[in-house]
Structure 1
Amino acid sequence: KERQRAERNQLIKSLKESPGKRDAKNFLKHFDTPKKPESRSASKVERAHSERLYEPTKAIQDSPVFTQQPLPEQLPQETVEPLHIALVKLRQPQALDDKTLGGIALTLSQMVRLGLNIAVVVDVDEDITSDTLELSPTWENTLREQVSRIVDSLEEFNEPGAFEVGHALSYSGVHSGVSHTVHSRGRIEVKHSHLLFHPMEEGIVTVIPPIAYDANSKRVRARPDEVLLALTREFSGLSAQTAERNDVVDLGDLVEAKVKSFADKPLLDRIIILDPLGGIPSENRADGAHVFINLEAEYQSTSLGQSNPFSKIVENEMSSLLNTSTRQITCAPRQNRHFQNLEIVQQSLKLLPPSSSALIITPAEAAVSSQAPLIPTLSTGVRTRRSKNPLIHNLLTDKPMISSSLPAPLVNRSTSSTAPNPATFLKKGIPVTTIPSLPWAPPSPNNPSIELENDPRIDFPRLVDLIEDSFRRKLNVKHYLDRIRGRVAGIIIAGNYEGGAICTWETPPALPGAPHPDSPMWIPYLDKFAVLTSSQGSGGVADIVWGALTRSCFPNGLVWRSRTSNPVNKWYFERAVGMWNLPDGQWTMFWTTEGVEMSRWDAYVGVCSGVAPSWADAKAPD
């Protein structure tokens, strides 16, 4: 363990010097070894007492102490170092060559050196998973061979080693007729957790075959997804809590468990599914897959019909994947497998804290090595930088390789393509609220504008706090409300006011009077885009708000402005169709509308030039 800590300290030192300062700060905050708390030795305590002003206190302090053992000079201390865990499911390793499997092993060993302890669930099932409990000779031989390959590959790169843990799981016999939830128990449970925790504490990668033992100590075949969920329950501490409530527990074990501090509990940080099919499909992206799924807001639409080919399944066929022995799904095996991946991740992240996340990625992507920084090409001699490894990038940043709020790639992917999908990053996420409900329309007698300060759906003081925290300046609330009154298109709120946007309907200053509601002179304008400083750079809050803004609220485009010297302009530029510096030299205009006509262009310029700032200080306006 000392060697692992030394390696990690060296990597952390390098990380501190990396250009991604915010990502490095977030990583170190989560993974760095906590410092030992300051202690006061017995001698220091005595000196403090001796300096008291009152003699009675000193007399009491000078009284003899009767003890059978010498008083310790210093109170015993231990560095609190939680066990960070990644749960990996490797699907169809029998289809991988030794080079790819070795690349995966190298990546996982690098993650161990960065402080993330690994448990690997082996899945040799085909696209349609069998529900039988019987161990067929063919299946068992395949499993044994692949477990051996995985362990051997990990042993080559991970110095602490790797080994198979084949006796940790039990089969409880719970069936679909028994009422229970994923939060309490399932058919598969972890019976001997010490077989997992002790090796992982030493940096050893545990490899877990999907085999469990029933009440008669007979080996039975388990579904890998059930194994993944059972391990999630165990690593989240739910299994131990259930045992304390329902089972007879040895008193010594119970006392030992109780004296452990909360910080000593394992932290399941990542769920990683290595699947040859890749990420979750999306018909709305040209590259064919979701980059990021905010499960709190998008799970229902992703699984039931709005953005995925496999979501054409009727809802009553979507009974729980883990609680039914017979499933009648009317979709192709590939689509069925994608749905199962989405479902198992959603059920697992439900049990974990919001900081936990999941990544669904192909084994080939996971095997990409970033060890050699430059590779010379044979034809030109030009040296090109090797691709980043998505798993290492995700561990260091808690983000996907590309931002989900960026415009989709221009190259369209055929809907009939059988090539693997790009990776999908998933989080439990945060809810997204739009007020009023979509679609938003220009104000009219039948559709009056909402009033931010009086709408019962809006916590206006918190909205103001969000704006002031994000912009780091005070808002002139009265001036601002007067300016946007009668023009508010709507607002977006992410989570508990962690981020948000205020949009208005603007008209060019030269336009006399208010146009007809159907007039193209109503310009959708992004008036405020705000993210709490504590949420910036983590959790994907900005991407979540931007996705709702540009894909749901204004899919046909909107316009906004930003101070020309604003450092956020690079972020805006990457997400805009175009930008233009306004003639006064103070503002840069951005828009997401494709093919802007000249008349509308003039309206954009007029709006962005005419909006009056509403800040309470004398700083340069944002």
Structure 2
Amino acid sequence: MLSYTARHVPCAVKSNLNSRSAQTFKAFYATIRSLRQNNSNATPEVEDIDPADNDFIMSLLRTYPSQRDTRSYFASFGPQPVAVPKIPKSSTVESTPEQIAPLTETRPPDITTQTRSPVISSILNPIYRRTALVKVQGPFTDRQLESIARGMVYLEKLGLLSVIIVENEDFKDREGQRSAIVEETMRFVTALEKGGAKARPILGAVVRLGPKPGDEEAPEPQDYTVPEAHTFPSDLVHIRSALRAGEIPVLPPFALDSFCRSVRVDSNDVIAALARGMTEAAELDKQARQEQQDRKEGHEDDPVAEVDLTPLRLMIINKEGGVPSYARYGMPHLLVNLTSEFSYIKNTFDQKWRTSHPTALSNLSLARTCLAYMPPTSSAVMVSHRSPSDLIGNLITNKPAVSSSLPHALLQGNRKLTPHTPTLLRRGLPIQVIRNTNDLDKVKLKYLLEQSFRRTLDEEPFWERLNESLDFVIVAGDYAGAAIVTREACSPSTSPNISPITYLDKFAVLPSHQGDGTVDFLWVALHDETYGLGLPFSANPNGGKEGKGEGRDLVWRSRANNPVNKWYFERSTGHLRMGDWVLFWCDAEVRLKIEEGRKGSIGLSYLEEWEHGRLSTWADVVFKIPSSWGN
């Protein structure tokens, strides 16, 4: 069996690389900070950076964003496309000398009184500010609050303004809780100000108790909990004012009751109401701007002061950390597909976790409700107060701190998984397993394959081969992604005792869903149906065998120049380069555990006896499979 090995870099080279990386990111931060300042002519030197910002720079370094992550970040926070007004054609009548003012009378325009064009505004202020809803769930000490506040300051530097709701579990159901939670709110405002941010306490209620008018007329019951509070666009005036001024609004969990009294409520009700209300208000803002732009025939006001109210992230910061996972022996879930996993997580929640993680399930429900109103690209993260820097990684990459599709042994061996590893939650997609070609939507599957591979499918032979050898197809959502697995028979003459090969024929995700978690959701389901089958953590409700059965080796091939191979290397047990191709495989994990148990402290060798000859058999079968493409 091939094992994972670390790559070593000579010390001298490593020192040089570290030095260059530090200088590069110092220069990067100097540029970003200059863009955030009002005086665009003042560009700080690298030496002018406050040493306190080193933690911010290191937090950026630790995110390791890919090119896709970087493009996604700048799509949300970079300069937004603006409509350039058409310049009317000048008159063909020539001006007489009397109509031209003398040169000495020409004065430079007063830039303080002139309206800037949208193009100039986008250049002078390239950070497009977005919003996040943040639940700070105490109790926290002053030092812990300062650490959390530092994370909020980092996010503000990157363009994300937080709307913070302060909660303290110790203050619930006791006398004087209202004044106590106000004091807690002011403590966090002070921590933000000490960290260098501008904060504004909003102590009045901005949400109203009870369902929103019209909710009772909803035609169908929703698959999420409808908030028990609501808000109107006019109620958000204080939050909007703070955000426009570049201030972080900090709110206690208050709401107006039917008698217009401000009362203490559960913070989850306030956050869910804000998620819905801010999203609806942002949509109304968008419509109003479009109507205004249409009336002015291409001219628009200066967009610098505008902040998109649509929450881009939901962040829950507490002492518990993420949601404990039945699959990881109480360690946190890495990535949760709320659409397909919510009920199963609740049903498998261990009784002892109700003591160690008393609010995990209520926060899980809060995430599902908020993400139902937020855009599909939004995500929620549950993170311990010990990991504020993880918020930067979540903002830039919108991915879990550690990929959920990585092998469990790799996570445990590298000690990357800790009780404080955050849980990322996405609205997600339903997962289903289809075992008959007649149940496939061939039109949608064809579209998915051609869009993902950017090639034309040779339909007739492809469907004929699936009719003969299909094992199953895992489909994510409405064919947003699919994994096609076939059973490839070995030649009886050369391999009489070898079972049919479980072959990953196609693994495809629509370009529009790449980077939103669909890839990981799909691979986890593939793991559970093949090489992970038989293990407790393969019992996910994905419509398949739900962990019951015997694991099978999974084999697939990929062209040597395929950029996805790096991703495959991390998830496969081993690989073999064969000319223009790479053969990958994942060993059945149950069998590996049995073999490791037999070896005891000796451990598995590089190549076990039962592995001899199988690679040549796999290669002989796999590389005879015809291409599915017409060109």
TM norm structure 1? 0.70
| Separation (CA, whole Å) in 2 of partners of 1:500 and 1:610 | 23
Residues 395-428 of structure 1 show CA distances to partners (whole Å, capped at 9, x for unaligned) of: 1111111111111256879xxxxx9452110111
Equivalent in the alignment of 2:556? 560
Q: Distance in 2 between matches of 1:150 and 1:394?
A: 22
1:602/1:256 Cα in 2 relative to 1: closer, same or farther (>3 Å)? Answer: closer
Q: Report 1:326-405 matches (<5 A).
A: 332-366=354-388, 389-405=389-405
2:36 is aligned with 1:6: yes
SS class of match (2:328)? coil
**Structure 1 segments unaligned to the other structure (5+ residues):** 51-72, 242-252, 313-330, 367-388, 414-418, 437-449
Matched residue SS, 1:567: coil
Aligned-partner Cα distance in 2 for 1:207–1:409: 42
- Tell me how far 1:470 sits from its aligned partner: 2.4
Say whether 1:29 aligns with 2:75: yes
User: In structure 2, which of residues 609, 617, 623 is the aligned counterpart of residue 606 of structure 1?
Assistant: 617
> 1:183-198, aligned counterparts within 5 Å?
186-187=228-229, 189=231, 192-198=235-241
Preserved CA contact (<8 Å) 2:131 2:308: no
Q: Pick from 175, 179, 183: which aligns with 1:136? A: 175
Change (3 A) 1:260 1:297: farther
Q: Distance in 1 between matches of 2:206 and 2:337?
A: 31
Pairing 1:526–2:512 present:
no
Residue in 2 that maps onto 1:203: 246
Quote the Cα distance in structure 1 between the aligned partners of 2:280 and 2:240: 12
Per-residue CA deviation, residues 207-251 of structure 1 (Å, 9 max, x unaligned), is 10112333444331111111111111211117998xxxxxxxxxx
CA contact (8 A) 1:168 1:196 kept: no
After TM superposition, the structure 1 = structure 2 runs for residues 235-384 of structure 1, keeping only pairs within 5 Å, are 235-237=278-280, 266-286=309-329, 288-305=331-348, 308-309=349-350, 332-366=354-388
Change in Cα spacing, 1:36 to 1:351, as seen in structure 2 (3 Å) is: closer
Provide the C-alpha distance between the structure 1 equivalents of 2:380 and 2:560, rounded to a whole number of angstroms.
Answer: 37
Q: Distance in 1 between matches of 2:467 and 2:276?
A: 51
Which of the numbers 89, 95, 109 marks the counterpart of 2:135? 89
Equivalent position amino acid for 1:154 in 2? L
Deviations 1:515-541 (A, max 9, x none): 9xxx861322111111233433x1022
What CA distance in whole angstroms lies between the structure 1 residues aligned with 2:447 and 2:239? 46
Cα distance in 2 for partners of 1:580, 1:184 equals 52
Counterpart in the other structure of 2:585: 590
CA distance in 2, matches of 1:298, 1:208: 32
Alpha carbons of 1:484 and 1:216: their partners in 2 closer, same or farther (altered >3 Å)? closer
Q: Does 1:499 align with 2:481?
A: yes
Q: After superposition, give the CA deviation of every residue in 1:531-579 in whole Å (9 maximum; x if it has no partner).
A: 233433x102211110110024552242222233433222112112222
Write the letter of the residue equivalent to 1:166. Answer: L
Report the CA distance shift for 1:141/1:189 in structure 2 as closer, same or farther (over 3 A). Answer: same
Relative to structure 1, the CA distance from residue 147 to residue 261 in structure 2 (aligned partners, 3 Å threshold; closer, same or farther) is farther
User: What is the correspondence of 1:108-147 to structure 2 with a 5 Å cutoff?
Assistant: 108-126=152-170, 130=173, 136-137=175-176, 139-147=177-185
- Amino acid in the other structure paired with 1:360: M
2:520 is aligned with 1:543: yes
Cross-structure match for 1:615: 627
CA distance in 1, matches of 2:34, 2:179: 34
Deviation (angstroms), 1:99: 3.0
Q: Which residue of 1 aligns with 2:303?
A: none
Shift of the 485–142 alpha-carbon distance from structure 1 to 2, 3 Å rule, reads same
Structure 1's 499 and 511: CA in aligned 2 closer, same or farther, altered over 3 A? farther
- Kept in 1, the 8 Å contact 2:204–2:262? The answer is no
Give the 3-state SS of the residue equivalent to 2:150 in structure 1. helix
2:453 aligns with one of 456, 467, 471 = 471
Return 5+ residue gaps in structure 2 as ranges: 1-31, 44-55, 95-113, 295-305, 533-550, 596-607
User: 1:39 aligns to what SS in structure 2?
Assistant: coil
Task: Assess if the C-alpha contact under 8 Å between 2:208 and 2:257 holds in 1.
Answer: yes
Aligned to 1:325: none
Inter-partner Cα distance in structure 1 for 2:423 and 2:188:
24
Q: Is the 8 A contact 1:187 1:226 kept in 2?
A: yes
The alignment partner of 1:474 has SS state of: coil
1:560–1:608: 8 Å Cα contact kept in structure 2?
no
Question: Partners of 1:477 and 1:572 in 2: how far apart?
Answer: 27
Instruction: Quote the Cα distance in structure 1 between the aligned partners of 2:281 and 2:226.
Output: 7
TM-fit CA distance, 1:158: 3.7
The residue number in structure 1 matching 2:194 is: 156
Q: Give secondary structure in 1 for the equivalent of 2:133.
A: strand
**Cα distance in 2, alignment partners of residues 3 and 563 from structure 1:** 43
Q: Is the 8 A contact 1:589 1:608 kept in 2?
A: no
Distance 1:240 1:563 in 2: 45
Going from structure 1 to structure 2, the CA distance change for 1:363 and 1:272 (only over 3 Å counts) comes to same
Identity %: 28
- State how far apart, in whole Å, the 1-side matches of 2:288 and 2:84 are: 26
Change (3 A) 1:170 1:486: closer
Is structure 2 residue 561 aligned with structure 1 residue 569? Answer: no
Q: CA deviation at 1:473?
A: 2.9
Q: What is the CA–CA distance in structure 1 between the aligned matches of 2:322 and 2:242, rounded to whole Å?
A: 31
TM-score, reference length from structure 2: 0.69
CA distance in structure 2 between the aligned counterparts of 1:547 and 1:474, rounded to whole angstroms = 28
Q: 1:530 and 1:219, CA in 2 relative to 1: closer, same or farther beyond 3 A?
A: closer
The secondary structure found in structure 2 opposite 1:193 is helix
Deviation of 1:165 after TM superposition, in Å, equals: 0.3
Counterpart position of 1:425: 424
**Distance apart, 1:472 and its partner CA:** 3.0
Q: Structure 2 counterpart of 1:532, which letter?
A: L
Structure 1 residue 7: Cα displacement: 5.4
TM-align CA RMSD: 4.2
Q: 1:102: how far off?
A: 1.7
Partner of residue 150, structure 2: 106
Larger deviation: 227-236 or 210-219?
210-219
**Separation in 1 of the partners of 2:470 and 2:441?**
16
Matching residue's letter, 1:471 = F
2:572–2:584 Cα contact (<8 Å) kept: no
More moved, 194-203 vs 18-27:
18-27
- The equivalent of 1:487 in structure 2 is 469
